[in-house]
């Protein structure tokens, strides 16, 4: 049961092969038995999950089911869940039980999905290895000595280890795509504004976006159908109509123009990873796509622009954690200043503090123009590069990451080395574009991902390309050798 | 732009984050590395480029000035570290 796609599980539920309660129980049992290896979940409420499942079974029996009714879905612990702790991977929110549901959670509930549990993540989504979590590092199911990627590393590992059929993540600079690549699953970061951010703990508000993580493009399409749409509670959520992302999945690729940014295939790309990407592109060509080289000339400024803008926005967003209204409060504060400064010293981890300090610096008097304004100008140049490319091509493709997953601890003491891991994913967030990672093969037994980047609101096209690729390849069906119960 | 330790002390104060004296040197070095990384931005001529705050160049939407929220005070205060009579408690600010 646990190695089926969302679409297959939905069919099984409708055909009464099993009930949602049975399905949910089987995933809960796997989590209880196996997750000590991966540490992919922070919170599981078995009784609540089974109660969701019972309600779903009633809906199924009444013939009132959606494509997700009765399907267990794991959610990154960044989405507020009413009555269930939402920690964001931080000591600061270790005691935080939200009084409301994020819009994304509400949408899944409305569809009848089962809330299977809350997944581990880098603290406040700041990290590329899932090592900054207050709840400990997540391990990669393909090799538990390796990182799963981050920041949505718990979601990626849970799906890869068959502890959840699908999950949600968030992506501010690659946090869905990079762990999806490292864990051999399919992940989509939608266009900025496609999915509501209400109730999603804010990191960098002009970059953050939630998206689906699953075994296949088809499953991502099914999830996105439920997630996407306007929300009056999020002023940045888009009013663009939402198509049914499943109906265009099978469209032929004949005539599709794919651009390869020369900057994504140069120095820094692991040779074996590059070979997997080349092979994937040949498969797309075999289906009639036309591949040509394009250029994103400001690519070298992506990391500098991102590491001004993201910390600046983070420093502002995280100012709310003050030990007064909710979350952690330091013991025995002597005065208000002591309450603020020690609460934040003790409640935040090192990487979060570092980014707050960099952001505060970039926004402080005398530096605003040189750092923040400058980065916003460069951000426009980076977006313009993409817009020019999309005059010539329909989709941009390249590697998701410079190489396969690295060892736990290998980069955790070197923030700069960690930042460089996101060299191919950050620009997509700066430009607000949709981006996807699709399993494209193995390098020394570890998965690597093909990244697909589309025009604004062209998620359907990315899902179509990924689906066609998955019809012709089986990389997305490969399972880690030591994951029990894999087919 | 090299960054000095006293500057990081000032920034930490602005950000209301206490940094233990023994960690200040290490924190300063890390921040300096990151600021060095972003220094490349200065080499680009952006004199004619408009800053971009929103990737879709969207601006805030307006809505009618009407009350849309219920009174959630009880629910919100139930998760606060310290409250009394509907008020959030903090250490004494004024003697």
Collect all residues with Cβ–Cβ distance below 8 Å to A336 and sequence separation of at least 6: B90, B91, B93
Indicate the range of A62-71, A218-227, A277-286, B55-64 predicted with least confidence: B55-64
pLDDT value at residue A177: 98
The reply to whether A87 belongs to the active site is: no
B52 within domain boundaries: no
Collect all residues with Cβ–Cβ distance below 8 Å to A114 and sequence separation of at least 6: A20, A24, A49, A52, A53, A56, A70, A71, A72, A73
Instruction: For residue A23, give the nearest of A155, A156, A163 by alpha carbon.
Output: A163
Q: Is the pLDDT of residue A25 over 60?
A: yes
ipTM of the prediction greater than 0.90, yes or no: yes
CATH of residue A43's domain is: 3.90.1300.10
Query: Can you give the residue range of the structural domain that contains A193?
Result: 6-240+248-255
A333 within domain boundaries: no
Mean pLDDT of chain A: 97
Looking at beta carbons, which residues of chain A come within 8 Å of B29?
none
The reply to whether A175 belongs to the active site is: yes
Verify whether the Cβ–Cβ distance B30 to A353 is below 8 Å. no
pLDDT value at residue A253: 98
Rounded to the nearest 10 degrees, how much is the dihedral formed by the CA atoms of A462, A468, A472, A477? 60
**Average pLDDT, stretch A264-289?**
97
pLDDT value at residue A205: 96
Min Cα separation B36/chain A (Å): 9
Q: Is the pLDDT of residue B68 over 90?
A: no
A343 within domain boundaries: no
> In chain A, whose CA is at the least distance from the CA of B24?
A354
The reply to whether A118 belongs to the active site is: no
The Cα A147–Cα A153 span in angstroms is 8
A369 within domain boundaries: no
Alpha carbon of residue A124 to chain centroid:
13
The Cα A405–Cα A142 span in angstroms is 9
- Considering only the beta carbons, identify the residue of A336, A338, A357 that sits closest to B12: A357
Give per-residue pLDDT as tens, A425-445.
999 999 999 999 999 999 999
> In chain A, whose CA is at the least distance from the CA of B73?
A99
Q: Is the pLDDT of residue A158 over 70?
A: yes
H or E element at residue A41: strand A41-43
At residue A486 the predicted structure's pLDDT band, cuts being 50, 70 and 90, is low
Query: Can you give the residue range of the structural domain that contains B11?
Result: 5-43
Instruction: For residue A435, give the nearest of A461, A413, A453, A415 by alpha carbon.
Output: A453
A161 within domain boundaries: yes
DSSP string, A260-326: EEGGGSSTTS-HHHHHHHHHHHHHHHHTT-EEEEE--TTGGGHHHHHHHHHHHHHHHHGGG-SSSSS
Residues 10-29 of B with CB under 8 A from A: 11-12, 14-20, 27
pLDDT value at residue A1: 84
The Cα A447–Cα A479 span in angstroms is 10
Looking at beta carbons, which residues of chain B come within 8 Å of A340?
16
Query: How many domains does the structure of chain A reveal?
Result: 1
A21 within domain boundaries: yes
pLDDT value at residue A111: 98
Q: Is the pLDDT of residue A203 over 90?
A: yes
pLDDT value at residue A472: 98
**Cα–Cα separations (whole angstroms), residue A284 to A258, A422, A436, A456, A469:** 9, 25, 15, 22, 7
pLDDT value at residue A252: 98
B39 within domain boundaries: yes
Mean pLDDT of chain B: 92
**Cα–Cα separations (whole angstroms), residue A267 to A263, A295, A402:** 9, 15, 10
A75 within domain boundaries: yes
Give per-residue pLDDT as tens, A101-117.
999 999 999 999 999 99
- Establish if B94 touches chain A: CB-CB under 8 angstroms: no
At residue A259 the predicted structure's pLDDT band, cuts being 50, 70 and 90, is very high
Q: Is the pLDDT of residue A487 over 70?
A: no
At residue A484 the predicted structure's pLDDT band, cuts being 50, 70 and 90, is confident
The Cα A88–Cα A134 span in angstroms is 9
B58 within domain boundaries: no
- Considering only the beta carbons, identify the residue of A192, A300, A380 that sits closest to B56: A192
Residue from A129, A175, A196, A299 carrying the catalytic annotation: A175
Size of interface A-B (CB pairs under 8 A): 170
pLDDT value at residue A439: 98
Q: Give the 3-state secondary structure of residue A117.
A: strand
Give per-residue pLDDT as tens, A384-424.
999 999 999 999 999 999 999 999 999 988 989 899 999 99
Does the pTM surpass 0.95? The reply is yes
Give per-residue pLDDT as tens, A336-381.
999 999 999 999 999 999 999 999 999 998 999 999 999 999 999 9
Q: Is the pLDDT of residue B95 over 90?
A: no
Instruction: For residue A182, give the nearest of A226, A229, A127 by alpha carbon.
Output: A127
At residue B61 the predicted structure's pLDDT band, cuts being 50, 70 and 90, is confident
Query: How many domains does the structure of chain B reveal?
Result: 1
B14 within domain boundaries: yes
């Amino acid at each position: 049961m646990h190695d089926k796609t969302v679409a297959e599980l939905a069919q099984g539920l409708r055909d009464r092969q099993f009930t949602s309660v049975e399905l949910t129980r089987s995933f809960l049992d796997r989590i209880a038995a196996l997750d000590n290896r991966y540490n992919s979940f922070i919170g599981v409420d078995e009784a609540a999950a089974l109660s969701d499942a019972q309600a779903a079974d009633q809906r199924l029996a009444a013939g009132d089911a959606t494509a997700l009714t009765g399907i267990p879905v794991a959610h990154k612990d960044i989405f507020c869940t009413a009555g269930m702790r939402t920690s964001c991977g931080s000591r600061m929110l270790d005691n935080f039980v939200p009084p409301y549901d994020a819009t994304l959670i509400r949408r899944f509930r409305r569809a009848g999905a089962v809330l299977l549990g809350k997944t581990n993540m880098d603290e406040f989504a700041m990290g590329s290895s899932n090592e900054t979590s207050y709840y400990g590092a997540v391990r990669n199911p393909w090799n538990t000595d390796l990182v799963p990627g981050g920041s949505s590393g718990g979601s990626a590992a849970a799906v890869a280890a068959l502890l959840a059929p699908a999950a949600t993540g968030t992506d501010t600079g690659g946090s869905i795509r990079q762990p999806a690549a490292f864990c051999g699953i399919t992940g989509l970061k939608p266009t900025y504004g496609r999915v509501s951010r209400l109730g999603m703990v804010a990191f960098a508000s002009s970059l953050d976006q939630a998206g689906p993580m699953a075994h296949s493009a088809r499953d991502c399409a099914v999830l996105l159908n439920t997630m996407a749409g306007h929300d009056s509670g999020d002023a940045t959520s888009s009013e663009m109509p939402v198509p049914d992302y499943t109906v265009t999945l099978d469209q032929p690729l004949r005539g599709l123009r794919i651009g390869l940014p020369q900057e994504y295939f140069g120095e820094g790309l692991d040779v074996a990873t590059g070979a997997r990407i080349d092979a994937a592109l040949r498969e797309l060509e075999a289906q009639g796509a036309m591949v040509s080289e394009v250029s994103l000339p400001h690519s070298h400024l992506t990391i500098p622009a991102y590491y001004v803008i993201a910390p600046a926005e983070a420093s502002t967003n995280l100012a709310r954690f003050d030990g007064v209204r909710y979350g952690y409060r330091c013991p025995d504060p002597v005065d208000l200043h002591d309450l603020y400064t020690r609460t934040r010293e003790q409640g935040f981890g090192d990487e979060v503090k570092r980014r707050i300090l960099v952001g505060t610096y970039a926004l402080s008097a005398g530096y605003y123009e040189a750092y923040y304004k400058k980065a916003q100008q460069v951000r426009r140049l980076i977006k313009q590069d993409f817009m020019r490319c999309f005059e010539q091509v329909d989709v941009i493709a390249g590697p998701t990451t410079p190489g396969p997953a690295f060892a736990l601890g290998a980069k955790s003491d070197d923030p700069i080395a960690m930042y460089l891991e996101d060299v191919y994913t950050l620009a997509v967030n700066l430009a607000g574009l949709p981006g996807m990672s699709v399993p494209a093969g193995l390098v020394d037994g570890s998965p690597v991902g093909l990244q697909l980047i589309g025009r604004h609101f062209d998620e359907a096209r990315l899902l179509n390309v990924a689906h066609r690729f998955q019809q012709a390849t089986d990389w997305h069906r490969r399972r880690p050798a030591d994951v029990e119960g894999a087919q | 732009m090299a960054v000095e330790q006293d500057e990081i002390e000032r920034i930490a104060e602005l950000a209301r984050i206490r940094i233990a004296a023994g960690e200040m040197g290490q924190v300063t070095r890390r921040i300096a590395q990151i600021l060095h990384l972003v220094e490349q931005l200065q080499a680009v001529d952006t004199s004619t480029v408009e800053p971009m705050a929103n990737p879709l160049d969207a601006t805030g939407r307006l809505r009618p000035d009407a009350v849309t929220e219920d009174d959630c005070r009880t629910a919100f205060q139930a998760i606060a570290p310290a409250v009394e009579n509907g008020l959030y408690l903090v250490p004494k600010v004024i003697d």
